[in-house]
Structure 1
Amino acid sequence: MVDLNDIALFVQVVRSGSFAEAARRLGVPPNTVSRRVQSLEAQLGSRLLQRSTRKLTLTNAGQSLHDRCAGAVDGLWEAGQALIDGSLEPGGIVRVAAPADFFDFFAMEEMGKFMASHPRVRLDFVLSDRNVDLVAEQIDVAFRGGPLPDSGYIGRQLIKADTDGMVASPLYLANRGTPRTLQDLIKHDGVGFGHPSGLVTWRVAGPDGSEDEIRLACRFTGNTAQTLRKAAVAGLGIALLPAKLTRLDLQAGRLVPVLPLYQRTSHGLHALYPSRRHLSMAVSALITLVAEKLSAASLQSGGIVSRSA
C-alpha cells in the first residue's frame, strides 16, 4: 500500500525544486527525502522525477501524480492547521505570476487590505510578461492575458474578451498623414511587441467579417501593453490596443482611432493554476479578490492587458 506521507513528501520536493531544499523545509536529512521518493517510485512502478546535477524534472507520471495529489495535500495541511489554530482562516505562502504592469492596474492598497484580513497569508509576486511554468517555478496562480496555450492548467476567466483597435496620437497623424486603407499602413511606423525582424504582424477583421494580415515596421517596441499605449500617446507610431486600455486617452484626445472599422478580438484575462482538485483557501481567496476588483475596474477604465503574463 502506498504511504500517503511519501506522496506528501513528493509534493514538497516538487515545490522546493530539489531534495536538499525539501529536506531543509521539512527538517530531515536529504538522503532520507531521496530514499523515500525512490521507495514511492518503486511502489508505483514508475519514475516520477528525472534527476540531474542542476535540477529535478517531472516525468509524465510525476506530473500526473502531482496534479492529482497537490490539492489534496494542501487540503489536509489546512485542515490540520485549522484544528490547531481553532479557525478556518487561509494561511501559507501564495506564489503569484502576473504581468509586469499588473500593479499599474491593480491597487497595491487592495493587497494591503487582503493581508490585513488574512494575517496568516504571505504573498510572493513574480512580475513578468513571459509564460512561466507553474509547476517548475512553484507558482500557485498565474494571471494571464492573451490567448491561452493548451497547457493542461485550469483556467478561470476574470475579464471577458473585448476588441482591440488601432490608435495613434493626433501629432503623429498630423506629421505622417491619416491612413485611409490598410495598404496605407505600409508607409507608417507601428508600435508593438518586439520581434527580431523589426516588424509587427496584426490580424484584424474588417466590416464584412473577413480577416486581413497587416505587417508594419516598428522603430519602437516594448513588452507590456502600457508601454505601447504610452509610446502611441507620445507620437511614436500606430498601436493596436484593447479598447478598455485606450478609452480614457480617446476621450481626452490624446489618441484618435485609426481605421476604426478594422478590429481584433482580444482575449481578456484569466487566472490559471495547476490542474488539481482542490485549491488552497489562500489561493481561492486571492483569486476571488482579484476577480472582484478587476471586474469593477474594467467597467470604469482600463482593465488589465498583457502579452502573456
Structure 2
Amino acid sequence: MIDLNDIALFVQVVRSGSFAGAARRLGIPANTVSRRIQQLEQQLGMRLLQRSTRKLTLTNSGQTFYERCADNVEGLNEAARDLMTDIQEPGGLIRVAAPADFFDFFLMDWTADFLAKYPKVFVEFILSDAKTDLIAERIDVAFRGGSMQDSGYIGRQTQCDGNQCLVASPAYIAAHGMPDSLQDLVNHACVSFSQPGSHAVWSLTGPNGIDEEVQFVARFSGNTVQALRKAAMAGIGIALLPNPIIKHDFNAGLLLPVLPQYKRTGRNLHVLYPSRRHLPLAVSIFIELVVEKLTAEYAAPMVP
C-alpha cells in the first residue's frame, strides 16, 4: 500500500523545486526525502521526476500525478489545520440528543447566547424521549433523565431539582378551595397523564418520608407535560408537575402550591458523551454551559 505521507512529500518537493528545499521546509534530511521519493516511484512503477545537477523536472506521468494529488493533499492539510484551530477556538457541529421537553426548562435564549459567543459553532438538536445510541447516531452529547445505565458512556449528574409537586391556578383555588389532605384530592378536579383503567393514581412522599397513594378520576388527561401545565393554568384542576417546568409560573403567581408537604421524587438529569478523550472544545464548553445554567436556575427546591 502506498504511504500517503510519501505522496504529500512528493507534492512538497515539486512546490519547493528541490529535495533540499522540501527537506528544509519539513525539517528532515535531504537524503531521506530523495530515498522516499524513489520508494514512491518504485511502488507506482513509473518515474515522477527527472534529476539533474541543477534542477528537478517533472515527467509527463509526474505532472499528471501531481495535478491529481496536489489539491487533495492541500485539502487534507486544511482539514488538519481546521481541527487544530478548533482545539484553540470552538467550532464545528455539535449534535445534541435531549428529552422532548428539553426546551420547556432549558431556555432558548441560553442557546442563542452560546451561538452568538461562538460564531463558528453549529448546534443540531435531536429531541426525543427514546434513548439514543450515541455512537451509531454520531451524537456528541446527550441529556437523559433517570438513572444512568450506559456503562459505555461518560456521564455526570446535573444539580437540577427534578422533583414534582402539586399545583393549581389561583382561579381554581378561589373557586374550589384548597384540599386539606392528600385523600381530599378525590373531591377535587385533577389533571393527570393518561393511565390504564378508569382511575389515575399518584404516589407521593409525605413530610414523614412515607409514600402515600391517592386514586382519583382525572377530569383532564394528556400525554405531555405541557398539556397538563396548560390545563392547570386554565383552572381545570390540580396537577402534579416537575419543578423545572413550572418554576417561572410559580414565581409569577400563575400557579400556586397545593399540599406542599407532599412531593414525588423526580428523575435526575444526566449529561452523557461517548468519551472524555479528545472531547472537542465546543462540546466541552456546551456541556459546561448546560450544567451551569441548570444548576443556577433549578438546583434549589422551590419554596412555597
User: TM-score, structure 1 length as denominator?
Assistant: 0.59
Q: Counterpart of 1:210 in structure 2: which amino acid? A: I
Alpha-carbon distance in structure 1 between the residues aligned to 2:84 and 2:210: 61
1:123 is displaced (CA, Å) by 1.3
Q: Is the 8 A contact 2:86 2:281 kept in 1?
A: no
Q: Report the equivalent of 2:88.
A: 88
Q: Which has the larger radius of gyration?
A: 2
Q: Report the equivalent of 1:164.
A: 164
1:211 is displaced (CA, Å) by 0.9
Q: Structure 1 residue 208 and structure 2 residue 205: aligned?
A: no
Q: Report the equivalent of 1:235.
A: 235
1:45-97, CA deviations, whole angstroms, 9 ceiling, x for partnerless residues? xxxxxxxxxxxxxxxxxxxxxxxxxxxxxxxx9x9445764962233321112
1:169-209, CA deviations, whole angstroms, 9 ceiling, x for partnerless residues? 23334555533222222344432334454654432111221
Alpha-carbon distance in structure 2 between the residues aligned to 1:166 and 1:109: 28
CA 1:159–1:198 in 2, change beyond 3 Å: closer, same or farther?
A: farther
Which sections of structure 2, spanning at least 5 residues, go unmatched?
Answer: 1-76
1:242 is displaced (CA, Å) by 3.4
What SS does the corresponding residue of 2:134 show, helix, strand or coil? coil
CA 1:234–1:275 in 2, change beyond 3 Å: closer, same or farther?
A: same
1:287 is displaced (CA, Å) by 0.6
1:143 is displaced (CA, Å) by 2.0
What SS does the corresponding residue of 1:297 show, helix, strand or coil? helix
Alpha-carbon distance in structure 1 between the residues aligned to 2:272 and 2:192: 25
Alpha-carbon distance in structure 2 between the residues aligned to 1:247 and 1:107: 12
Alpha-carbon distance in structure 1 between the residues aligned to 2:170 and 2:146: 28
- Greater shift, 205-214 or 150-159, is seen at 150-159
Alpha-carbon distance in structure 1 between the residues aligned to 2:187 and 2:264: 21
Q: Is the 8 A contact 1:82 1:88 kept in 2?
A: no
- When the two structures are aligned, how many residues end up with a matched partner? 226
Alpha-carbon distance in structure 2 between the residues aligned to 1:139 and 1:199: 40
Q: Report the equivalent of 1:183.
A: 183
Q: Is the 8 A contact 1:95 1:125 kept in 2?
A: yes
1:228-257, CA deviations, whole angstroms, 9 ceiling, x for partnerless residues? 222211122221223454444445443232
CA 1:221–1:138 in 2, change beyond 3 Å: closer, same or farther?
A: farther
Q: Report the equivalent of 2:263.
A: 263
Alpha-carbon distance in structure 2 between the residues aligned to 1:259 and 1:85: 55
Higher relative contact order (CA 8 A, sep 6+): 1
Q: Is the 8 A contact 1:129 1:224 kept in 2?
A: no
What SS does the corresponding residue of 2:135 show, helix, strand or coil? coil
CA 1:275–1:233 in 2, change beyond 3 Å: closer, same or farther?
A: same
Q: Is the 8 A contact 1:245 1:301 kept in 2?
A: no
Q: Report the equivalent of 2:154.
A: 154
1:146 is displaced (CA, Å) by 4.4
Alpha-carbon distance in structure 2 between the residues aligned to 1:215 and 1:251: 29
Q: Is the 8 A contact 2:169 2:235 kept in 1?
A: yes
Q: Counterpart of 1:190 in structure 2: which amino acid? A: C
CA 1:164–1:120 in 2, change beyond 3 Å: closer, same or farther?
A: same
CA 1:184–1:153 in 2, change beyond 3 Å: closer, same or farther?
A: farther
RMSD: 3.6
Which sections of structure 1, spanning at least 5 residues, go unmatched?
Answer: 1-76, 303-309
1:301 is displaced (CA, Å) by 10
Q: Counterpart of 1:89 in structure 2: which amino acid? A: E
Q: Counterpart of 2:214 in structure 1: which amino acid? A: I
Map 1:81-120 → 2, pairs under 5 A: 81=81, 85=85, 88-120=88-120
Q: Counterpart of 1:153 in structure 2: which amino acid? A: Y
- Between the aligned residues of both structures, percent identity stands at 52
Q: Report the equivalent of 1:131.
A: 131
CA 1:261–1:83 in 2, change beyond 3 Å: closer, same or farther?
A: closer
Greater share of strand: 1
Q: Report the equivalent of 1:284.
A: 284
CA 1:236–1:131 in 2, change beyond 3 Å: closer, same or farther?
A: farther
Alpha-carbon distance in structure 1 between the residues aligned to 2:113 and 2:273: 23
What SS does the corresponding residue of 2:292 show, helix, strand or coil? helix
